[in-house]
């Protein structure tokens, strides 16, 4: 064999062996196409790194869900912390309690702690009012007066009162809003001389009282009697009405309005003409606001009448409502037998005032600065009084 032929065969053998060596895998590694044993499939988590290994992904998916509702998560940092061994770590969120997740709407767990509801000032109890004073109705030696009505005119408080001892009678008591300068203005000179009932024209059926823009007083009885006391000397005159069952009256829009068993009657003070203003039958008192709207107690409701006589229900669900008053802000005060209920102009409850202060409450009035006055007949004349509640600063 020639030398050239030998060298050519040797080179070909060497090249073939090198080629085979390059295509064989190392002895300690599985072939590339061999299946991996015990491989754990996982679902790629939103926001996770694409190169996360299976162990890290399994750690992420093994955690229990924290809340049933979706939570906006903060962006994940591209750089993972490095532990002492030099390998990358993925932070694992701490386990948060699932309580009260997955509760049906409208249900609560049985062991949920319950605290008292927040009650802002004016929402309950005495609200923004406090009892300032209590004026005795009866400050007379010879009579036994009990308060059944009241009104305010200027800086004077007028109380309609009755004496139930025989012979029964009624009167009007004048005093300052502080309870001072008590005076019986319903009696005539004859009553002063005889010290009896013959000088009193107002009867014990007195139901309501109101003052007009000039300070003249009008008193209504249930038995078709209307009495006027004209300022400043309060000389009394009486007229007969064409309807009965009167409960209360108010002065508004240059007219008197009387709540009667025949509906709301309108009386023109000039010619004394009477006409039916509204067929609403009141069961308690009535009042008016500065816009000449009337507020009337009808059973367990307050009805509001506009100046044309159209009515609508404003408040309902009352218990033993007796009288009503409205302040300059439009807030409504409803007198019940043992308390005053306080509502805003929309009829939404704001609280209660004077709870359990009264023995036999009969009427409520409010002055121009928001003080409330309640006429309480009391259990007898020794207890009858006018309660004054003043507005406290907010």
Dig out the tokens for 293 from the structure.
């709207």
| Cα(159)–Cα(148) distance, integer angstroms | 8
Select the more confidently predicted residue: 249 or 105. Answer: 249
Beta-carbon neighbour count of residue 16 at 10 Å?
A: 10
Dig out the tokens for 31 from the structure.
């072939």
**258 within 8 A of 246, measured Cβ to Cβ:** yes
Residue 33's pLDDT is what? 34
**249 within 8 A of 258, measured Cβ to Cβ:** yes
Sign of the alpha-carbon dihedral angle for 25, 26, 32, 35: positive
The length of the chain is: 394
Select the more confidently predicted residue: 26 or 320. Answer: 320
SS3 58: helix
Q: State the pTM of this model.
A: 0.67
| Cα(213)–Cα(170) distance, integer angstroms | 24
DSSP 354: S
Q: Is the pLDDT of residue 206 over 50?
A: yes
**177 within 8 A of 371, measured Cβ to Cβ:** yes
**216 within 8 A of 209, measured Cβ to Cβ:** no
Distant-in-sequence, close-in-space partners of 98: CB < 8 Å, separation ≥ 6:
64, 65, 66, 67, 68
Q: Is the pLDDT of residue 170 over 50?
A: yes
Pairing of strands 340-343, 349-353: antiparallel
Pairing of strands 183-184, 206-211: unpaired
Nearest to 152 by CA among 378, 369, 383, 353: 369
Residue 167's pLDDT is what? 85
Beta-carbon neighbour count of residue 139 at 10 Å?
A: 14
pLDDT digits (tens, 9 = 90+) for 304-335: 999 999 999 999 999 989 999 999 999 999 99
Residue 243's pLDDT is what? 81
Residue 317's pLDDT is what? 94
pLDDT band at 361; cut points 50, 70, 90: very high
Residue 209's pLDDT is what? 95
Residue 188's pLDDT is what? 76
Q: Is the pLDDT of residue 44 over 70?
A: no
pLDDT band at 211; cut points 50, 70, 90: very high
């Amino acid at each position: 064999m020639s030398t050239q032929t030998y060298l050519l065969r040797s080179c070909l053998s060497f090249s073939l062996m090198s080629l085979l060596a390059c295509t064989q895998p190392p002895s300690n590694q599985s072939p590339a196409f061999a299946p991996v044993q015990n491989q754990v499939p996982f679902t790629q988590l939103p926001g996770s790194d694409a190169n996360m290994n299976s162990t890290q992904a399994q750690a992420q998916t093994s955690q229990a869900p924290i809340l049933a509702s979706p939570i906006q998560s903060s962006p994940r940092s591209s750089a993972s912390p490095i532990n002492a061994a030099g390998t990358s770590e993925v932070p694992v969120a701490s386990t948060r309690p699932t309580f009260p997740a997955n509760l049906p709407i409208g249900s609560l767990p049985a062991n949920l702690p319950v605290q008292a509801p927040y009650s802002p000032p004016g929402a309950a109890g005495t609200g923004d009012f406090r009892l300032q004073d209590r004026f005795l109705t009866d400050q007379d030696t010879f009579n036994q007066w009990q308060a059944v009505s009241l009104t305010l005119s200027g800086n004077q408080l007028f109380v309609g009162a009755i004496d139930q001892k025989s012979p029964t009678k009624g009167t009007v008591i004048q005093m300052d809003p502080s309870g001072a300068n008590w005076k019986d203005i319903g009696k005539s000179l004859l009553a002063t001389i005889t010290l009896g009932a013959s000088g009193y024209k107002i009867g014990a059926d007195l139901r309501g009282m109101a003052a007009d823009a000039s300070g003249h007083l009008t008193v209504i009885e249930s038995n078709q009697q209307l009495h006027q006391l004209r300022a400043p000397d309060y000389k009394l005159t009486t007229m007969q009405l064409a309807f009965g069952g009167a409960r209360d009256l108010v002065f508004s829009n240059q007219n008197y309005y009387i709540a009667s068993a025949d509906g709301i009657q309108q009386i023109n003070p000039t010619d004394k003409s009477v006409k039916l203003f509204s067929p609403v039958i009141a069961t308690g008192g009535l009042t008016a606001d500065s816009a000449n709207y009337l507020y009337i107690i009808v059973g367990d409701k307050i009805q509001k009448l506009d100046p044309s006589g159209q009515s609508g229900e404003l408040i309902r669900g009352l218990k033993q409502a007796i009288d009503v008053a409205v302040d300059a802000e439009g807030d409504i005060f409803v007198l019940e037998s043992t308390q005053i209920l306080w509502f805003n102009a929309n009829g939404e409850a704001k609280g209660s005032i004077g709870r359990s202060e009264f023995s036999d409450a009969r009427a409520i009035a409010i002055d121009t600065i928001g003080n409330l006055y309640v006429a309480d007949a009391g259990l007898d004349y020794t207890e009858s009084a006018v309660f004054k509640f003043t507005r406290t600063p907010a």
